[in-house]
Amino acid sequence: MALSGKITHSPPPTYQQLWEYERRLPQHNEDLPLPEGRRGRYVRFANQVRQKGWNNVLNEIVICTEVARQANRAYVFEHFTWLPRHYPCAALYPWQRGLSWGPRTPLSALIAGPTVGGPWDDDDSARSVSVEYWDQVCPPSERYYISRETALLGLGDKPEGIDLFNQVVGLVRDAPARCVEVGRIGEDPTFDVWLISGNRSLSLSVQFLNTPSSRLLRASPLVQAALLRNEYLFAPRTAKRSSTPAERRAIPATVNLYARMMAVHIRRGDFEGACVYHTNRPDVWYQWNLWPTHPDKFVPPPGAGGGYAPPEAYEAVRKRCFPSQDEIRERIRTVREDFLRSSSSHTNAVLDTMHIMTNGDGDWIDELKRSLADDGWNVVVSSSELKLDDEQTDVSMAVDQEIGRRAAVFIGNGWSSLTSNIVHQRLVDRREPYATRFW
């Protein structure tokens, strides 16, 4: 669901212009020369994750895009669908009238870059194509099938991420057909959540970070428009009389709003139960949150991971997974001080704007905003205050994600896939380690 939990009373957006944009991508032309066109080389991951949260999907599809590139094939992208109950629209959906289909979101509403058909750094790699174009140029009779079992063959039950990646690249590259299909719809993904959300992902992440599929990933134009529409909310206010000298520094007429911003990702609601689950399982942090240069690490406490963790183990995890308001406030103070001290060479460093990404309820958010204002945060804005149209509301998780990418400082939840993808993009942007933190 949207981080803000915002419910709209409009029907799902139709995205007519974006569907048409995807249909008219220049690579959707059978007359193009190799490696594209009717004789081009393509790969579809039919078993890619579906009807899960956006960030679970994003984790996998960017990896699959790079598999395709290294295998000298065009990646086949699909639209995004979620479980119907998670969509922010409260109107009567078609499936509630007995129809089988529900809302769909074009991938180009969420991201830009090679995964959704954008250009590569060079002209040699085949551009990604839509699943509709795949059906046109790769009829079932011309598809070569690679099962998930074949992809994992010889690697054991828990393969290292880079070993699985390299094996799949080889299989897809050497397949004796133009059109390759990996897995079947409904099967477990080749790069599943158990790989991506644990230590086995780190070997892949290290190799993946500087690939074109990683470096060229961007927010969609729709998401960027949402940020522009809401920049006025983050405009610096006149400093209070009680402010420190640094906070009273004159604010220039033109200012980088994000250079003054800390963004924090705070999970509420049913995530408290997830924290119990993570304590009872031998879980570590999620993918990019494990990056070795992060100053904040997670070591499972004694008693965790055995199925039924003792209360003291849960309490140690809870403080970092589901912190209280007092713990949040104290952590923000510490990280703010660390950042200003570490960036002291930048004589004009100011951190006085806060963006709260949360699915907490209104009263909880209001209480947190008041406490942060008391701590000298001049501007405090939550996800629920962003002004979004229906299309932007549908992709509000990507809007928050882009704010987290741009903010001077980010604090996230180590068990969260949304935090992980923000951290990935901050690593691509070469942010200093002290600017990307965790509860």
- Binning pLDDT at 50, 70 and 90, where does residue 91 land? very low
- Binning pLDDT at 50, 70 and 90, where does residue 92 land? very low
Annotation: CATH topology of 221-438: Rossmann fold (3.40.50)
Chain mean pLDDT for the chain? 89
Q: What is the pLDDT of residue 276?
A: 82
Q: What is the pLDDT of residue 3?
A: 56
Task: List, for residues 47-76, the tens digit of each pLDDT value.
Answer: 998 878 899 999 999 999 999 999 999 999
Does the pLDDT value for residue 406 go beyond 50? yes
* Least confident residue range of 5-9, 23-27, 94-98, 344-348: 94-98
* Cβ atoms of residues 410 and 351 within 8 Å: no
Closest CA to 332 of 412, 393, 397, 396: 412
Closest CA to 394 of 25, 12, 9, 37: 12
* Least confident residue range of 63-67, 123-127, 199-203: 123-127
H/E stretch holding 398 reads helix 396-406
Q: Is 419 helix (H, G, I), strand (E, B) or coil?
A: helix
pTM greater than 0.75 (yes/no): yes
* Cβ atoms of residues 230 and 257 within 8 Å: no
Give me the percent of the chain exceeding a pLDDT of 70. Answer: 88
Q: Residues of CATH 3.40.50.11350 domain(s) within the chain?
A: 221-438
The CA distance from 172 to 180, in Å, is: 7
Q: What is the pLDDT of residue 86?
A: 59
More confident residue, 197 or 32: 32
Q: What is the pLDDT of residue 432?
A: 95
Q: What is the pLDDT of residue 250?
A: 47
The sheet with strand 143-146 has its strands ordered as 129-130, 74-77, 42-45, 179-182, 143-146
Task: List, for residues 354-386, the tens digit of each pLDDT value.
Answer: 999 999 999 999 999 999 999 999 999 999 999
Does the pLDDT value for residue 254 go beyond 80? no
Give the mean model confidence (pLDDT) for residues 83-109: 63
Across 200-235, b (16+ Cβ under 10 Å) vs e yields: bbbbbbeebeebbbbebbbbbebbebbbeebeeebe
- Binning pLDDT at 50, 70 and 90, where does residue 346 land? low
More confident residue, 198 or 163: 163
Task: List, for residues 274-329, the tens digit of each pLDDT value.
Answer: 888 788 877 789 999 999 999 999 988 887 777 787 888 888 889 999 999 999 99
